[in-house]
């Protein structure tokens, strides 16, 4: 049953305008974002399904820091700085793989999957050397609904449980407003069918703002608009780090190339739920799209003021993979098309904003969520 949702225009703050030019083009602003936001907030780096077995790992970059995300022999997931404790050598150059231990390619110092130093050739000849003192430096890591987040804030930035500029709190406290909200999708149990990487020549904030409105949909997404009316959006989260709500889907349709459901539906869904798709932005780098038959997640990794890497992942009910009628590509191809349409207009926006003629323009009433996202962003930058 849908309650506490309001039409997008009802939460619009009159007078809201787009951000000033420097927020999209300035290297100094980009550096501030890395320091004030990505170094102090919980940042999405992946999903637990990427680490199916002990020894599986991948490398993630957060605020310019390379991190090794690995599952140990007890099943625990860790995040370690990709830095040897001997002379600082980068430990892993590849993006992902499987290993039984983490060994430095330079002098063969070797670490267990839990980060403990277990081998240091000839260091027993150094007076007072103790391997216990040289474990890998760990980053704060925690899981929410099966998704892996890291927080680079350390003890020196914490004060009374909070970091400078509204930073470090536990992941559990950070996501407390969303507790149980997505339980019907059982996100932690879902399996990925496809992950696509996009290299977009646009500022990361333009991606968030574009995701948060369908004012652009009739002209940019004609295929999407035929199935999901652009004026059907209603939101229940309209302020703060979590924003969004639902849009309606034509009865009996799905957001796929064929227009038909492509997979086993999520559990505990009522009839009305099959006519809704939910879109939420999770500050600062996650876009969560919840469909009746699949879940799509965008993970943003800002590279520069004018470039963003985006990892898009499609997740399905684990039972769907066993069915003969499972057709994940129907959804993947649809959103790959829509994604590319979005990236194109975001790149056009980046090009125009870089002009000396650009000045902030007024948001429409259909853009109340992008305006709210800007307010949250500026709160962290002030």
Q: Which residues contact 44 (CB under 8 A, 6 or more apart)?
A: 147, 148, 149, 282, 285, 286, 299
**pLDDT of the residue at 172:** 96
Contact 132, 3 (CB under 8 A): no
CA distance 232 to 217: 12
Give the sign of the dihedral formed by CA 24, CA 29, CA 33, CA 34: positive
- For the chain, the average pLDDT equals 94
Q: pLDDT tens digits for 158-170?
A: 333 334 444 479 9
CA distance 38 to 32: 9
Contact 39, 63 (CB under 8 A): yes
Closest CA to 358 of 30, 28, 21, 15: 21
Q: pLDDT tens digits for 47-59?
A: 999 999 999 999 9
CA distance 234 to 101: 49
Tokens of 295: 């879940």
Could you say which DSSP state residue 362 is in? B
Helix residue ranges per DSSP H, the chain:
22-25, 27-33, 171-174, 204-211, 217-220, 222-227, 328-353, 368-381
Q: Indicate whether 111 pLDDT > 70.
A: yes
Q: Name residue, tokens 């267990």.
A: 112
Q: Which residues contact 158 (CB under 8 A, 6 or more apart)?
A: 167, 168
CA distance 378 to 371: 11
CA distance 139 to 39: 11
Contact 374, 17 (CB under 8 A): no
Half-sphere exposure of 326 (CA within 13 A, CB side): 15
Tokens of 117: 């130093």
Tokens of 146: 């099966």
Average confidence (pLDDT) over 109-125: 98
Tell me the β-bridge partners of 299. 286, 311
Contact 126, 137 (CB under 8 A): no
Q: pLDDT tens digits for 294-349?
A: 999 999 999 999 999 999 999 999 999 999 999 999 999 999 999 999 999 999 99
3-state SS, 30-86, equals HHHHHHHHHCCCCEEEEEHHHCCCCCEEEEEEECCEEEEEEECCCCCEEEEECCCCC
Could you say which DSSP state residue 150 is in? E
CA distance 19 to 355: 14
Tell me the β-bridge partners of 254. none
Q: pLDDT tens digits for 259-279?
A: 999 998 887 677 777 899 999
Contact 237, 210 (CB under 8 A): no
Helix (H) or strand (E) holding 242: strand 242-248
Percentage of residues in the chain with pLDDT exceeding 90? 91
CA distance 234 to 4: 9
SS3 156: helix
Tokens of 206: 């333009």
Q: pLDDT tens digits for 348-357?
A: 999 999 999 9
Q: pLDDT confidence of 154, banded at 50, 70, 90?
A: confident
């Amino acid at each position: 049953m849908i309650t506490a949702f309001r039409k997008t225009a009802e939460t619009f703050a009159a007078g809201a305008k787009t951000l000033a030019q420097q927020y999209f083009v300035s290297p100094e602003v980009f550096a501030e974002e890395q320091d004030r936001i990505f170094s102090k907030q919980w940042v999405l780096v992946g999903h637990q399904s990427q680490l199916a077995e002990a020894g599986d790992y991948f490398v993630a970059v957060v605020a310019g820091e390379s991190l090794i995300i690995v599952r140990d022999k007890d099943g625990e997931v860790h995040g370690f700085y990709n830095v040897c404790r001997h002379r600082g050598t980068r430990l892993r150059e590849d993006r992902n793989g499987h290993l039984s231990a983490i060994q430095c390619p330079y002098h063969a110092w070797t670490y267990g999957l839990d980060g403990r130093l277990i081998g240091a050739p000839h260091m027993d000849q150094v007076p007072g050397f103790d391997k216990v003192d040289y474990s890998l430096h760990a980053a704060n890591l925690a899981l929410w609904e099966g998704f892996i987040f890291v927080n680079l804030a350390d003890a020196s930035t914490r004060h009374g449980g909070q970091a400078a500029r509204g930073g470090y709190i536990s992941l559990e406290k950070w996501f407390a407003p969303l507790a149980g909200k997505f339980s019907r999708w059982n996100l932690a149990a879902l399996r990925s069918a496809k992950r696509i990487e996009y290299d977009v020549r646009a500022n990361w904030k333009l991606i968030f703002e574009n995701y948060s409105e369908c004012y652009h949909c009739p002209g940019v997404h004609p295929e999407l608009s035929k199935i999901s009316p652009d004026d059907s959006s209603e939101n229940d989260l309209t302020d703060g780090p979590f924003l969004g709500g639902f849009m309606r889907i034509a009865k009996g349709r799905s957001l796929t190339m064929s227009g038909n459901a492509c997979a086993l539906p999520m559990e505990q869904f009522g009839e009305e739920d099959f006519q809704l798709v939910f879109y939420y932005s999770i500050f600062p780098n996650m876009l969560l799209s919840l469909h009746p038959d699949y879940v799509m997640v965008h993970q943003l990794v800002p590279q520069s003021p004018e470039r963003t890497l985006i990892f898009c992942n499609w997740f399905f009910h684990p039972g769907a993979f066993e069915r003969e009628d499972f057709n994940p590509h129907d959804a993947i191809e649809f959103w790959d098309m829509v994604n590319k349409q979005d990236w194109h207009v975001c790149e056009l926006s980046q090009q125009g904003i870089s002009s000396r003629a650009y000045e902030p323009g007024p948001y429409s009433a259909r853009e109340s969520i992008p305006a709210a996202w800007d307010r949250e962003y500026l709160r962290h930058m002030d």
